[in-house]
Structure 1
Amino acid sequence: MIEVSFDGASVGNPGLAGGGVYINSGGSEIRESIPLGVLSSNHEAEFAALVQALQYCLEKGYRSVSFRTDSQLVNQALEKRYVKKAEYAHYLERALTLIDRFDLFFCKWIPDEKNRNADALARFAIRKQQNADKSECGPL
């Protein structure tokens, strides 16, 4: 079983957002920083990161995965297969569609301090976007 930690982060509401995916597969590590553009909130970034992590795992051919998240909102939405806020509903629908393609899927809530790898990757994705925005401005 592949262990996948994911996290979303944003600077501002709305603001630039990033996703981080950290995979530990039999001692080898995979780290992905995913720029997510401008999103409405950190919660939206968490849902977007979930979808990105699921897509990544399917593209790599992983069939049995155990996801870890520090977002109680995302974890509860997956458990209940329901989310209150309409702005997250399409992310949940997409995630559930992707989850159905796995042979085995688990998701577990973990505290922030146990999700540092994915958090650092999400924050790196934001920095990449900020640096790209600065370089597009050019000299005055």
Structure 2
Amino acid sequence: MLKVYTDAAVNGNPGLAGIGIVVSGNGLYEQLSIPLSGSWDNHRAEWEAMRVALKWIEANQKLNSLILLYTDSQIVADSISKKHVKNINFKSFLNECLALLNHFSFYEIHWIPEKQNRGADNLAKQALQKALNNQKK
């Protein structure tokens, strides 16, 4: 079983952003802190965090594991659970996430409060700081 936590941090809305991902289980512990280029709003950045996490799972051949996905974004969790998004701006993110999830043997997605997502949150904030530092160069 793999537990995957995702989060995003944005400076301004829209603004620079970073994403954080924690993957643990089956003797594995991976932390990803990725600055994003361009301008992001908070919802799109949360979607990007989930998309990147799913692509990481696929690239690392973990598709046959039970995958438990955790996000503090209600929009991302609800949209993936219902396989529907109200805001058309998120449709491409949802479609890509669902296409990736179709390759998984079994997954669940859960909304969690921010306080239960501190690991991914800290990584997202570190990535945002990298994005801000890169902009100053």
How does the TM-score come out when normalised to structure 2? Answer: 0.93
Aligned residues of 1:18 and 1:122 also touching (Cα < 8 A) = yes
How far apart, CA to CA, are the structure 2 residues paired with 1:105 and 1:37? Answer: 29
Partner of 2:126: 124
Partner of 2:32: 32
**Aligned positions of 1:95-106 closer than 5 A:** 95-106=97-108
The alignment yields a C-alpha RMSD, in angstroms, of 1.2
Amino acid at match of 2:106: L
Q: Percent of aligned positions with the same letter in both sequences? A: 37
**Unaligned stretches of 5+ in structure 1?**
136-140
Count of equivalent residues = 135
Amino acid at match of 2:3: E
Indicate the structure (1 or 2) with the bigger Cα radius of gyration: 1
Query: What's the offset of the Cα at 1:37?
Result: 2.0
Query: What's the offset of the Cα at 1:27?
Result: 5.2
Partner of 2:69: 67
Partner of 2:84: 82
Instruction: Give CA deviations for 1:39-76 in whole Å, capped at 9, x if unaligned.
Output: 34111110011100000111111122111111111110
Amino acid at match of 1:48: E
Q: Secondary structure at the match of 1:123?
A: helix
Amino acid at match of 1:8: A
Amino acid at match of 2:131: Q
Q: Secondary structure at the match of 1:61?
A: coil
